[in-house]
Amino acid sequence: MKLRNWLLLNPFSIIFTILALGIIYAYYFELSTITASIISALSIITLVISLYIRTTKLSISYIYTAIFIFSIGLVTTSIHKPSNYLPSGEYIKMSIDIDNSISTHGRWQRVYGTLKSYTSHGGGIIDVDQRVEVNIDTSNIIKHGDLIECSGYINDISQDNGYGRLMAIRGIFKRTYITENKITSICNTPNRGIIHYAQRVQQKAFQRLERLNLSENSLAIVAAMSIGDKRLLSSDLKRSYSKSGASHILAVSGLHVGIVFLLINILLSIIPLFIHRGFILKSIIGITVIWLFAIISGLSPSVIRAASMFSIAHIAYASSQTYNSFNIIAATATVMLCINPMWLFDISFQLSFAATASLSLMVSPIYAKLRGKNNLTNRLLSAIITSTVATVGTAPLVAYYFGIIPIFAFIVNIPIIFLSYIVVQTAIVWIILPFKYLTIPIYYTLSISTYSINYIVDFVASLPYSTIYSEPSILQISICYILFILSIIILKRKEEN
């Protein structure tokens, strides 16, 4: 297939690229919302005129369309680009909305909340709406949904490291430490919207998992993989998973939503056989279950992106249209960036897109080149290719953000992903059906699976040279992905021949 034909079959790959370029330009160059809006309005007028004038060449209309898409990136980024306008190094009285999940780090409970107001030096109350990192002494009992009145110093988060840069992209420039007895009042505000409801559902699901009486490490792994609750993960456990290249299974994302997607399709596969247009009912149920799982997982951005992608996949199946995985990935990414263009710079978005795009583009041509006649060997080969492609596709980003390249990731991911299927599906069954007679089989299934995962991770992490420490520049990782794209083009051409 020629490149031009491939692009015609994957139109959203072009749209996504142009939109991303507009977002990048608006992010790195100062551009006011008014200027961006004027550019967008002019591009719309020019596009409409070109479409109505019959003498206009089709290629010119394409150029005007590209300018219009580029301008959308400019406008949305200028609107969503975070700003840093809070005081720094000052001791102030604050009103903070605890609107996110809480994790414990030694003495401190960390949460990314919203600073609603603070008292200035002159004694006046200044209303704001700024995200901040809040570290609260564990002697204070707080929970999601609380509105706290407190006092403390507010300081800048250094952007000299990956964490600070990531926080800046997410609009978090400041942090504060609230020590003992510095909270003057705590009140819970009901009816906080869908995110707050999702957090409450997630907490209920965690309580059901606690009823299994799993070991601390097993509960930590099960909670992280099935409902996105990472509060119990220790620093040592996170370090081992990072060194072995398996840290991605600890964050609910495309892999975990994909597991639910696969399970639902298997369970509902019988519906079209007995019901007229049953594939429509199957898709409706499938999409509903996917979003219920997203709610149980707390509706994090990565889960929302994955749920959106698999929902579009369901719709594609139901409409009997040609299913093109890469076009669906690009379409989902385009929609998500129109909603919040700052996700383009978010590591979870980048890793998710890099992994899924690599799999959709690379696995098929490599497998077609290497497959044999033995089905069992082919299944093992498919697993190795999938794991290797996902690892290679995300390695430049992992090295850039974390400074490491896990050497054995492509090997360790094969058994771990298989075990992840067991853990996630078993945990979901227990959360939905927490019947007493299921306690023992589910307890042993989860205990053995998580023990096996931890054993593999610890073994690989302890191997010599299991990790290469590297901090590539943006230019270097760009070159890596350019070479990656060129290799895809070469493979596609060889596949045709």
- Please give the structure tokens belonging to residue 332: 């989902």
Positive/negative CA dihedral, 197, 203, 209, 215: positive
Q: Would you say 298 and 228 are in contact if contact means Cβ atoms under 8 Å apart?
A: yes
Tell me how far the alpha carbon of residue 294 is from its chain's centroid: 12
User: When comparing pLDDT for 375 and 17, which is higher?
Assistant: 17
pLDDT at 257: 78
Ordered by start, the domain boundaries in the chain are 3-80, 90-191, 199-496
pLDDT at 445: 93
Q: How does the average pLDDT of the chain come out, rounded?
A: 79
Beta bridge partner(s), residue 176:
134, 154
Predicted confidence band of residue 496 (pLDDT cuts 50, 70, 90): low
Q: What is the pLDDT of residues 116-165, one digit of tens each?
A: 888 876 677 888 888 888 898 888 777 777 888 888 888 888 877 767 87
Task: Work out the burial of residue 444: count CB atoms within 10 Å of its CB; fewer than 13 is exposed, 13-18 middle, 19 or more buried.
Answer: exposed
**What does the DSSP assignment read for 56-79?**
S-HHHHHHHHHHHHHHHHHHHHHH
317, pLDDT greater than 70:
no
Domain formed by 90-191, architecture: Beta Barrel (2.40)
Listed range (156-160, 255-259, 387-391, 457-461) with the worst mean pLDDT: 255-259
Q: What is the pLDDT of residues 330-340, one digit of tens each?
A: 888 888 888 88
Q: What is the pLDDT of residues 167-219, one digit of tens each?
A: 887 788 889 898 878 888 888 765 566 767 777 788 888 889 999 988 888 89
Predicted confidence band of residue 444 (pLDDT cuts 50, 70, 90): very high
Q: What is the pLDDT of residues 408-417, one digit of tens each?
A: 777 777 788 8
pLDDT at 42: 72
90, pLDDT greater than 80:
yes
Predicted confidence band of residue 449 (pLDDT cuts 50, 70, 90): very high
User: When comparing pLDDT for 470 and 223, which is higher?
Assistant: 223
